[in-house]
Structure 1
Amino acid sequence: MGRVQGKVAVVTGGASGIGLATAQVLAKEGAKVVIADFNQKGAEEAAQEIVSQGGEAIGIFLDASKEESIKETIEKTVEKYGTVNILFNNVGLTNLKKDLDVLNLDLDEWDRLMDVNLKSVLIGCKYAIPHMIEAGGGSIINTASMAAFASDAIRTAYGASKAAVVHLTKYVATQYGMHNIRCNAVAPGLILTPAAKNNLSPELQKTFMRYNALPYHGEPEDIANTVLFLASDEVKFLTGQTIEVEGGHYLGNPTIPDFRAMSGMKSN
């Protein structure tokens, strides 16, 4: 308990999934949490749940595609709690119907994903960093993705946007480290959020599992605990890094499961 005691944390996309789990973990460990989400009702309900358990939190509206809305999120945080110590840039979109291969992707969708997945991270940093400097430092954590490191048949814009998040993380870390501001990223693999469970059939989940090094899929709490680690002072000498939280899915030669099957070896 108390790993981020008394710190003020902004969690974008905090009404559900990874963001919600992270907001809950940060609050449990002593942070005052601002849950910012397009789903304002969900954000407020999440905050109320934290308060009912003895934590401190508020839920507010955020449209991550608009600079003014991101600016207002930081301003409301400072107005309520006095500063910003932790920023978790977690909002992200994907669209399997429009974000296709290079020849067929929707260019308007490319622009939309770059705005929400990448530009919102930049803008969040832009408005939070001055307050972190004034407070004597802070920790920024950005949600990247394993799509930043491994290409796919579709989701071209998504992968490109997340790769840019990885490199933007390094730039922020380099430019503001002397102000005691750390900036790191977390790259989830398949995480069984409620949305993932609803959209991935059991058969498809088994297909993903076949290529994991570990015999299970990730849960939102796995990312939340990684964010907590990066937000805490326990890692005060770690910055500019992206931690891959993906169950070993991308570790080995992709033919390993096939060779195991051919040789009769047990897979996981």
Structure 2
Amino acid sequence: MKRVQGKVAIVTGGASGIGLASSQLMAKEGAKVVIADYNLEGAEKAAQELVSQGFEAQAMFLDASKEESIKEVVEKTVEAYGTLNVMYNNVGGTNLKKDLDIVNMDMSEWDRGMKMNLDSVVYGCRYAIPHMIKAGGGSIINTASMAAFASDSVRTVYGASKAAVVQLTKYVATQYGKQNIRANAIAPGLILTPAAKNNLPEEMLHMFQKYNALAYHGEPEDIGYTVVFLASDESKFITGQTIQVEGGHYLANPTVPDMRELMAKKQ
């Protein structure tokens, strides 16, 4: 089933993890995909693999911290394919050694984090929207995070910037809905990307799973399928929303897992 047949899509941060899974799934569902990433070698490898399987994809270099680089990717995409239908603003992250509590955080990380997580989305929208208007409409998808909805002892700039992405998504949806442009966000919980697997100790992974409503962690494809849905016409009456894809981690009263353990001991 070709759910996004013929659509032209840009995926920023598309060389690995969630971006790579989303690029692969959209290409397999019929989209012409531009994989834009700072890791150009990784993006080229991903694009070549898709092309070798008969799908349409190409790689482009993207430095998401620079407005001009985002603008260039959008313009080159339209040059190559004549239009733009889907913009997936997926670049983001933080430096856990610097993004600490508000008193102790490195303020240079505040500036860098806002630029990477929020400004990149702003410019992705800013430069994609005019081309989508010419195309008669389009779908903007932004990667937010569950950190936008639940606070933490650290990751101050990450949570604040992702909360801003949630609200920015609503503004874009409101401002351009009458021109048939939809804007939605996805808020992942812990997803087993290569970065998560390589950097999180096993104990921490078990801790997250303990508090999930489901008995397992999310995979990059779980976000990718949500991206395909939001890119497709199946979601044509959905806009301004943030879909939480997090395995029910934040669903229950936080005492539930501990209460289960307590009750099990008493039996």
TM-score by length of 1: 0.98
Question: Which residue matches 1:168?
Answer: 168
* Matched letter for residue 171 of structure 1: Y
Task: Measure how far apart 1:98 and its partner are.
Answer: 0.1
Question: Which residue matches 1:210?
Answer: 210
Alpha-carbon separation, structure 2, partners of 1:250 and 1:34:
33
**C-alpha RMSD over aligned residues:** 1.0
Alpha-carbon separation, structure 2, partners of 1:221 and 1:44:
20
Question: Which residue matches 1:190?
Answer: 190
Alpha-carbon separation, structure 2, partners of 1:102 and 1:4:
43
Alpha-carbon separation, structure 2, partners of 1:179 and 1:142:
19
Q: 1:1-268, aligned counterparts within 5 Å?
A: 1-264=1-264
Deviation track 1:19-74 (CA, whole Å, cap 9, x = no partner) reads 00000000000000000000011111110011011100000100000000000000
Alpha-carbon separation, structure 1, partners of 2:98 and 2:235:
39
Aligned to 1:104, the other structure's residue is in SS state: coil
Aligned to 2:18, the other structure's residue is in SS state: helix
Task: Measure how far apart 1:203 and its partner are.
Answer: 1.6
Kindly tell me the number of residue pairs found equivalent between the two proteins: 266
Instruction: Kindly report structure 1 stretches of 4+ aligned residues shifted beyond 6 Å.
Output: none
Alpha-carbon separation, structure 1, partners of 2:81 and 2:48:
17
* Matched letter for residue 225 of structure 1: Y
Alpha-carbon separation, structure 2, partners of 1:44 and 1:76:
16
**Gap runs ≥5 in structure 2:** none
Alpha-carbon separation, structure 2, partners of 1:217 and 1:204:
12
Query: Identical aligned pairs, as a percentage?
Result: 75
TM-score by length of 2: 0.98
* Matched letter for residue 223 of structure 1: I
* Matched letter for residue 66 of structure 1: K
Aligned to 2:96, the other structure's residue is in SS state: coil
**Gap runs ≥5 in structure 1:** none
